[in-house]
Structure 1
Amino acid sequence: MDGDTWVEQGQKIGTANELREYVAAIGAEVQHMQTGLGRAAGSVLRGRSWLDTPRDERFDHPDLLREQLDMSVTPAGMAAKDAVYRQSLAALLVALDTVAHATLTAWLADINANDPGRPA
């Protein structure tokens, strides 16, 4: 979706079903963004595209975060530009995870409001 579509769609929501659909669409878009950004970052860090990486060497974005990006201490000898790049990618992936968690929370709240005893 382009930049204004989300805003326009959000302004037109008037029912609980429309809100459910909107939250589900956000969740799906976030998942696509996580996958794409994780693959792109992994490709840059490994120096070859995702498609050119053998399946047994591919990893998902949580692994990428833990092993390659998220730093509490900058490794010795790492250039500042590399550290900023890695930390920025880590922050973007964490932000997308936060949105994914928020969409799950909204879905669970909707289930709870309709039937608190229903298995989630």
Structure 2
Amino acid sequence: MDDDTWVVQGQKIGITSELREYVAAVRAEMQHMQTGLGRAVWGVLKGRSWLDTPGDERFDHADFLRGQLDMTVIPAGMTAKDAVYWQSLAAPLVALDAVDHAALSAWLVGVNAKDPDRPA
């Protein structure tokens, strides 16, 4: 067995193409989770389901997360209970964004290893 073999959840990834395939699968699953969770959060905050929301009122996940949920500073006047509620809705979406960034980084490492001067 090669020292460069990466073992993830019992799966052996030994070549770049297997790593790319694994990262693509992780990214696809993450995006499905992000979409579903984002729509559920929308329903909680808006009081109606995503399916019952007219198309022109639906949000782009990244804009919604950054614009309404992602807090590093609590808005003036927000109560602690409201801040905890909003933060509990945002945290899983932020975590999924971190997975997306990590998967992109892994993909870029593969591209760089193959040809560092190739446009990303």
TM-score band by shorter chain is 0.7 to 0.9
Where is the strand percentage greater, Structure 1 or Structure 2? 2
2:96 aligned partner: 96
Shift of 1:86: 1.4
User: How has the CA–CA distance of structure 1 residues 119 and 75 changed in structure 2, closer, same or farther, with 3 Å as cutoff?
Assistant: same
Select between 43-52 and 88-97 the one with higher mean Cα deviation: 88-97
Say if 1:42 and 1:64, in contact at 8 Å, map to a contact too: no
Q: Residues 10-69 of structure 1: CA distance to partner in whole angstroms, max 9, x if unpaired?
A: x33232221111111001111111111111101110001101001111102222223332
Normalising by structure 1, we get a TM-score of 0.81
Query: Pairwise mapping of residues 25-104 of structure 1 onto structure 2 (< 5 A)?
Result: 25-71=25-71, 72-74=73-75, 76=77, 78=79, 80=81, 82-104=82-104
Q: Percent identity?
A: 68
2:4 aligned partner: none
2:5 aligned partner: none
Quote the RMSD (CA, aligned, Å). 1.9
Q: Which runs of 5+ in 1 are unaligned?
A: 1-5
- Cα distance in 2 for partners of 1:18, 1:60 equals 32
Say if 1:38 and 1:61, in contact at 8 Å, map to a contact too: yes
Q: Which runs of 5+ in 2 are unaligned?
A: 1-7
- Cα distance in 1 for partners of 2:52, 2:111 equals 42
- Cα distance in 2 for partners of 1:30, 1:53 equals 24
Where is the helix percentage greater, Structure 1 or Structure 2? 1
Normalising by structure 2, we get a TM-score of 0.81
